[in-house]
Structure 1
């Protein structure tokens, strides 16, 4: 469900820019490529990419901040830093504990009221990444069009979740999984999370209900009462 070859589709919608608009259906259909990543070839010897179609445009927005966050943590560790918190907007990485030895508390935004908090988790050295339909969007005729595009339809995802929060040791894993599970929906997404070791999740569905992974308790999830 995570396809980084849809950069042209992302550009077409322009969500998060000053020219965001609903594209004509024929323009969307023209950019759909069921083959997805099969359009891309990687040559190990030359470390180069080639494309079977000129229409392929790569966009790594779904994982870029996760990769950068992991690399920042490595640099800090190499410099001997033992306590740090880094926030890249929806992507939080922790290193060790707080200076006083306690764990870090990371808030989860309420997607229905982004100025408020849905709750929090407590982590030590893990990353916490959230994807949601409230981050980048525009509204037209009473409908919200958010930035998480479904590569199968070329339109914003219409799954039953509005927010996915992933907790793991690596931020790039969190970043990829938060987007992928958003597209998959609550049932299939949580089934995937529960099949992976060392990964936990908190999903908020469109009806406001909260769905959690099997072992989320180890991160002391606190849910605020509305």
Structure 2
């Protein structure tokens, strides 16, 4: 009996030793050793998506993850290009009126989301605007002022309701004469995709800046209040701001008439087109910045709000959960949604906050 007890004690002792060895002597994994947050980020800048893309990762030893993110952006750019032969959008446009085109799941998701926004905005957001933007080509070396006749001839081909999708087959069909242009939504989707890559690798602190689409992860290593994200000055080049807001885990998307424009005979034509007229939107907005959780939502909203105008746009923003916006009018007035009024810090004396809205 005594020998049996001694044998059991030996077995128990061995189990305890093994457990101690596992918890205290196991080698550190990559997640434990390399993901400490640093104040000196790994930074990468590239000319992609017709803008300057800059990504900052505030963790050490993440060069491979950075490369994966850049490769993903390049892949999406090729997939969604309107001009690259073989891209999904190119194939859809060149099959207009002939056949439905099988597309990549990601392309299908973007188009499906765009159609939802078209319904919500009553057609003010419309990815079939390409029928007109192809005439203007603002932002390209070939930018020009189209004839009024040419614009009127293109207008009947702008109608999101004539974009037919098949969810089971993941195909897209457009009628003859139509042209899809995903520039008003694609950067938001891509920014969210980069964030997903980072989350997969347990990265919690980063800044994803796709030239006007900024997505911040976590909080600043230097400030517990969050990342200090500026609201672009619409009268100056990108980087000059009128004010700022501290945010955590948010997307901040800015659109403005300063971004891309064409000057002809002393008149300036910006790139944000009205699908009803075929001409640039004419109202009192010079810039709008949208704060959302998902960048794709901020991207599509920033365009839609231009077409809604400040009054209707603000009403729409206030009806949405966890979405905020700053409108800048052409008289240098800032119209700030209710959830941001206490957080917004004005930094430019040339501008003023419009009260009593």
Work out whether 1:130 is the aligned partner of 2:254.
yes
1:70 pairs, out of 192, 197, 206, with 192
CA gap 1:171/1:218 in 2 versus in 1, 3 angstroms: farther
**Counterpart secondary structure, 2:262:** strand
1:175 corresponds to: 299
Alpha-carbon shift at residue 6 of structure 1 (Å): 1.4
Structure 1 or 2, whichever has the larger Rg, is 2
**Aligned positions of 1:43-192 closer than 5 A:** 43-51=166-174, 53-100=175-222, 102=224, 103-114=226-237, 116-192=240-316
Structure number with the bigger relative contact order (C-alpha 8 A, sep ≥ 6) is 1
Paired residues, number: 225
Note the aligned Cα RMSD (angstroms): 1.5
Alpha-carbon shift at residue 160 of structure 1 (Å): 1.4
**Aligned positions of 1:21-60 closer than 5 A:** 21-33=144-156, 36-51=159-174, 53-60=175-182
Give ranges in structure 2 of 5+ residues lacking alignment.
1-123, 351-357
TM-score, normalisation: structure 2: 0.61
In 1, Cα distance between equivalents of 2:268 and 2:221: 42
Check whether the contact 1:86–1:92 (CA below 8 A) recurs between aligned residues: yes
Structure with the higher fraction of residues in helix conformation: 2
2:323 corresponds to: 199
**Aligned positions of 1:15-26 closer than 5 A:** 15-26=138-149
Alpha-carbon shift at residue 98 of structure 1 (Å): 1.7
TM-score, normalisation: structure 1: 0.95
In 1, Cα distance between equivalents of 2:221 and 2:347: 26
In 1, Cα distance between equivalents of 2:230 and 2:344: 12
Give ranges in structure 1 of 5+ residues lacking alignment.
none
In 2, Cα distance between equivalents of 1:30 and 1:158: 21
Structure with the higher fraction of residues in strand conformation: 1
Check whether the contact 2:157–2:178 (CA below 8 A) recurs between aligned residues: no
